[in-house]
Structure 1
Amino acid sequence: MNSASAVHPNTRWNAWHAARNILVVRLDNLGDVLMTTPAIQAIRQSSPQARITLLGSRSGAALARHVPAIDDVITYDAPWVKGASHGDLTDRRLLTTLRRGHFDAAIIFTVCTQSALPAAMMCRLAGIPLRLAHCRENPYDLVTDWVPDRDECREGMRHEVARQLDLVRAVGFHTANERLVFRYAATDVLNMRRKFTAAGGDLNRPYIVVHPGATAVSRRYPAERFGIAADGISRDTGCQVVYSGGHDEQALVASARAAMSAPSISLAGQLTLGELAALIAGAQVTVCNNSGPAHIAAALETPVVVLYALTNPQHTPWRARAHVLNHDVPCRDCLKSTCPQGHHDCLLKVQPDEVMEAALDLIEAPPPVWAPPLPLRAATPALAALG
């Protein structure tokens, strides 16, 4: 046994709590970074004097200005992460940037199907003395504090938020508030309202938000069905239907709107991330796929109906008023960006009237009675500290 593995956990905790310049690494999508915000908040609350820098993809780094616990951001589209493109930093420039950052510690957040070792190698080469990560295989000296990764992608696995909270607890970082964190500015609200009105919306009437896009084709419910469901919600509630999406999702929004008989509003391609959050915050309900807006809605405590493809189970809205809709299939947890069976039954067998009924239930349901946050769990995950 490595002698360092026998060190009392509190000895390791002291080293981590002494760190004043901490790098947090989350290299995948915006929604993944958002699900990591409770863990980042735990770092901030446990070490209020520390400077926290996010190393994130171009998509994920956009969230940094909306998370007060993050002081700075380094943008890097890593070649070992799915869907990465040519980023702002090459590998050598990233290494130089990390060295110049003089970080005391690095925490590498990954989903269970990713390896933390490429990022750990970069951090080690940059001279960062403390390095924490989940690892399935023994990382030896690539990380100094190793939490063995026992997660498997299957029904009943722990939620992604819980996974990252457990990681930072292993070195003594805790928080009493485990909610997702997203903040937007007053200017975001004002700009959203101006665009809302310019698009033909009435700020004095209630509205719902419909977001038909998702990065992976396998996670997209048919846009036309979103339109059919939205039409029914509008008819039964009188709510305005407001569509959101990126520039590249305008065709999906057009298809959804074409399926409606009621008028609708499109803000696709018009909103910044903060403005989208302001829009979602004011909605009666958000209806979307398993994508970033689902997690923004959860962070802002807006009710959300999620068309949740069964590609992986651990990314449902965290502690939200939500209905998660899908049809069970034997090929669930496939982890594929395109349905490998070609039938897409996990979503296609969900009918628009089910979506409508789920939304109506959330609109009509009273908000839950406030309850204090759950107490911290006494136990921490197994930690093997490497020399």
Structure 2
Amino acid sequence: MSKKFKHKLVNLFLRLYTRRRDFSHSVTAFKQLETIDFRNIVIYSTTALGDFLMNTPAIHEVRKRFPDARITVVAGNKMAAYIRTGIGKDWDDVVCWNSKVNTVTKLVRDLKAHGTPDLILIMHSHNPYDYLSAVMTGAPFVFRCNHPASPCSLIEPWLTNYNGPGHRHAIQSRLDLIAPLQCQFTGKSIEMRVPCEVTAEPSPWHNVGFQMGASSEERCWPVSYFVQLATALMSADDKIRITLFGAPGEVYLSEQFMTLLPAGFHHRTESLIGKTSMTELTQAVNNIDVLVTGDTGTMHIAIALKVRTVSLFVSAAAHATGPYQDPSLHRVISGFTSPLLTPPGNHEMTAISTDRVITAVQDALADVYPDTRTP
């Protein structure tokens, strides 16, 4: 069944379910509110780690604006346990949902367990069943971040407020979405937050982290390039130690890396790929000085923790999902592909040379350890 056809079925169902042609009455009702004082707020964030972390600035602003409200986060199966570590801070409960149509009825029941929501904010989720379930709860107001791939003409009639694609960062897009709630934004409003607590653990090493995997293969810098980077860094500084991060499905990257890395550097390299929960990954990232990464959830953890990053972007758009806070801590290296510059068959991330990354990492380490800076 095509995506567009699903939206058409949802549109027909909602017309029958609500006995209305659309949700336009909610726009009028919101504009007529004398005071905005919501007590039961639901926030959808059902996708990946990076998406959730980019939602946290807006979630924090909602908590500041409505300190006494009950805030529930709807999370995907993989993210629910991690988000639950933050209960009691910016949210009070987490409801797990797999984004499938056959679980919409249960989700609606779960969201109404504490009464009908006053407001639903869909910050990042899979359509069309996200806004379908939101409207079915009976919530009078539904806000949603729409994205370029969404069939907006079919979604927008069922929303009180929405923002579409634009040339702005994903964090700013979420903040723009909640602006009508009269939130008072400051310079700190763009800062991401991890849900779990972390501690500072001293180390005699200069710790560099590598996140070699990514959400798609075209966003992965070649393993051989990471090996060249590690070899150059550890050859130049005997205090440097490398930590490899990644998901269980990325263990093969660790195996390839260790096979190619000169044996003399193995004792200064530790692989945590596939060995950590998200909470443990967060603590491990907090222990490093610099992270080298593509556009990944691990990158967003580092940014949230104010750990320096060297991030690599070719097909991904740094202006939309790259570092948005603390620009002095982050070095973004962009590359581009061209039939004249990229030989046929080469991986597009080879557009970023190892020399550029070596220099960026060494500069970042020199910011942490000024005594290592080359005169």
Using the size of structure 1 for normalisation, the TM-score is: 0.75
Distance 1:172 1:140, change over 3 A: same
Match of 1:96 in 2: 109
Of stretches 157-166 and 217-226 in structure 1, the one that deviates more from structure 2 is 217-226
Size of the aligned set, in residue pairs, is: 324
Find the aligned partners of 2:345 and 2:68 in 1 and give their Cα distance: 52
Q: Which amino acid aligns with 1:21?
A: N
Match of 1:146 in 2: 161
* Structure 1 position 221 matched with structure 2 position 221: yes
Match of 1:180 in 2: 192
Distance 1:77 1:312, change over 3 A: farther
Find the aligned partners of 1:206 and 1:148 in 2 and give their Cα distance: 43
Q: Secondary structure at the match of 2:275?
A: coil
Find the aligned partners of 1:49 and 1:258 in 2 and give their Cα distance: 55
Higher RCO by CA contacts (8 Å cutoff, separation 6 or greater): 1
For residues 291-327 of structure 1, give each alpha carbon's deviation from its aligned partner in whole angstroms, at most 9, with x where no partner exists. Answer: 0110011001111011223234411022142222232
Query: How is 1:359-370 mapped onto 2 (pairs within 5 angstroms)?
Result: 359-365=361-367
Question: Residues 295 and 316 of structure 2 are in contact (CA less than 8 Å); yes or no, is this contact kept in structure 1?
Answer: no
Query: How is 1:288-303 mapped onto 2 (pairs within 5 angstroms)?
Result: 288-303=293-308
* Structure 1 position 159 matched with structure 2 position 169: yes
* Structure 1 position 58 matched with structure 2 position 74: no
Query: Cα RMSD between the aligned structures?
Result: 2.9
Q: Kindly state the Cα deviation for residue 357 of structure 1 after the two structures are TM-superposed.
A: 1.2
Of stretches 172-181 and 62-71 in structure 1, the one that deviates more from structure 2 is 62-71
Q: Kindly state the Cα deviation for residue 343 of structure 1 after the two structures are TM-superposed.
A: 4.4
Question: Residues 207 and 242 of structure 2 are in contact (CA less than 8 Å); yes or no, is this contact kept in structure 1?
Answer: yes
Distance 1:92 1:175, change over 3 A: same
Find the aligned partners of 2:184 and 2:253 in 1 and give their Cα distance: 41
* Structure 1 position 31 matched with structure 2 position 50: yes
Distance 1:358 1:66, change over 3 A: farther
Match of 2:149 in 1: none
* Structure 1 position 270 matched with structure 2 position 275: yes
* Structure 1 position 256 matched with structure 2 position 269: no
Using the size of structure 2 for normalisation, the TM-score is: 0.77
Match of 2:153 in 1: 137
For residues 236-272 of structure 1, give each alpha carbon's deviation from its aligned partner in whole angstroms, at most 9, with x where no partner exists. Answer: 2321111122222111112122222212111222222
Find the aligned partners of 1:184 and 1:139 in 2 and give their Cα distance: 34
Query: How is 1:52-91 mapped onto 2 (pairs within 5 angstroms)?
Result: 52-67=71-86, 68-79=89-100, 90-91=103-104
Match of 2:5 in 1: none
Q: Secondary structure at the match of 2:79?
A: helix
Query: How is 1:99-138 mapped onto 2 (pairs within 5 angstroms)?
Result: 99-102=112-115, 103-110=117-124, 115=127, 117-135=128-146, 136-137=152-153
Question: Residues 40 and 70 of structure 2 are in contact (CA less than 8 Å); yes or no, is this contact kept in structure 1?
Answer: yes
Find the aligned partners of 1:61 and 1:309 in 2 and give their Cα distance: 31
Question: Residues 294 and 311 of structure 2 are in contact (CA less than 8 Å); yes or no, is this contact kept in structure 1?
Answer: yes
* Structure 1 position 322 matched with structure 2 position 330: yes
Q: Secondary structure at the match of 1:22?
A: strand
Q: Kindly state the Cα deviation for residue 215 of structure 1 after the two structures are TM-superposed.
A: 2.1
For residues 191-224 of structure 1, give each alpha carbon's deviation from its aligned partner in whole angstroms, at most 9, with x where no partner exists. Answer: xx7xxxxxxxx94323111111112112111122
Counterpart among 166, 169, 184 of residue 179 in structure 2: 169
Find the aligned partners of 2:209 and 2:103 in 1 and give their Cα distance: 38
Q: Secondary structure at the match of 1:240?
A: strand
Distance 1:223 1:130, change over 3 A: same
Match of 2:66 in 1: 47
Question: Residues 34 and 295 of structure 1 are in contact (CA less than 8 Å); yes or no, is this contact kept in structure 2?
Answer: yes
Query: How is 1:331-370 mapped onto 2 (pairs within 5 angstroms)?
Result: 343-345=346-348, 347-365=349-367
Identify, as 1 or 2, the structure richer in helix.
2
Q: Kindly state the Cα deviation for residue 47 of structure 1 after the two structures are TM-superposed.
A: 0.6
Q: Which amino acid aligns with 1:185?
A: E
Find the aligned partners of 1:215 and 1:275 in 2 and give their Cα distance: 20
Question: Residues 209 and 242 of structure 1 are in contact (CA less than 8 Å); yes or no, is this contact kept in structure 2?
Answer: yes
Q: Which amino acid aligns with 2:255?
A: A
Match of 1:338 in 2: none
Distance 1:8 1:268, change over 3 A: closer
Find the aligned partners of 2:215 and 2:59 in 1 and give their Cα distance: 25
Question: Residues 211 and 244 of structure 1 are in contact (CA less than 8 Å); yes or no, is this contact kept in structure 2?
Answer: yes
Find the aligned partners of 2:105 and 2:29 in 1 and give their Cα distance: 35
Q: Secondary structure at the match of 1:170?
A: helix
* Structure 1 position 281 matched with structure 2 position 286: yes
Which has the greater radius of gyration?
A: 2
Distance 1:350 1:4, change over 3 A: closer
Match of 1:86 in 2: none
For residues 90-136 of structure 1, give each alpha carbon's deviation from its aligned partner in whole angstroms, at most 9, with x where no partner exists. Answer: 2332232223342221001148xx75x53122111121222112453
Q: Kindly state the Cα deviation for residue 12 of structure 1 after the two structures are TM-superposed.
A: 4.2
